[in-house]
Amino acid sequence: MVQDDADAVPLLDPAVLDRLRTELEDDDGVWKVFVQNFIEYLPHRTEKLRLTLTTGDLAGAMDAVLSLKTSSQMVGAERLAGLAMELERALRHEGIDNEPARVLPRLAADRLRQIIRCARQTTNILQKYLHSG
């Protein structure tokens, strides 16, 4: 597992990518396209999350965070998936019972910088992984 902090969840679990690579072994290069698509769409996913949180759009924020979480899990982006999961829990706990227009921008202020930084780090590691395989 690739880690940049001893106590943190790893940025990437290569076993997930290795499994994906093995499962798609018959389809030459499909696993690379899958990972490249994840990398390409990651900025769009984080921007949608930012936009929906800052505008107080609870349904949109939930959709965006679930998309980020699921896609991250599929490529083994463990830390990013974990951050998305934490935000999802906060949305379910705080967003539904309170005023989304007030709560969601606060969640954005508290969590977005870390998610975006993690997305960049994950992208860098995935690109290295692609070029090594």
> Can you tell me which residue has the tokens 């860098």?
124
Please determine, for residue 15, whether its predicted confidence score (pLDDT) is greater than 70: yes
Q: Is 35 exposed, middle or buried (0-12, 13-18, 19+ CB in 10 A)?
A: buried
Between 10 and 87, whose confidence is greater? Answer: 87
In 3-state terms, what secondary structure has residue 12?
Answer: strand
CA angle 116, 122, 127 (to 5 degrees): 130
Start-to-end CA distance of the chain, whole Å, equals 16
Q: What is the pLDDT of residues 71-130, one digit of tens each?
A: 999 999 999 999 999 999 999 998 776 789 999 999 999 999 999 999 999 999 999 988
Residue 28: pLDDT band with limits 50, 70, 90:
low
Question: 29-132, which class in CATH?
Answer: mainly alpha
pLDDT value for 30: 84
Q: Check residue 47 and give its pLDDT.
A: 98
pLDDT above 60: residue 1: no
> Is the confidence at residue 26, as pLDDT, over 80?
no
Q: What is the pLDDT of residue 7?
A: 45
Structure tokens at 9: 């969840």
Residue type, 44: H
Quote the Cα angle for 73-15-71, to 5°: 15
For the range 108-116, what are the long-range contacts, defined as Cβ-Cβ under 8 Å and sequence gap of 24 or more?
108/50, 108/53, 108/54, 111/83, 111/86, 111/87, 112/46, 112/49, 112/50, 112/53, 114/83, 115/46, 115/49, 115/68, 115/80, 115/83, 115/84, 115/87, 116/46, 116/50
Tokens of 80: 């990013």
Domain map (residue ranges) of the chain = 29-132
pLDDT digits over 34-69, tens only? 899 999 999 999 999 999 999 999 999 999 999 999
pLDDT confidence of residue 40: 97
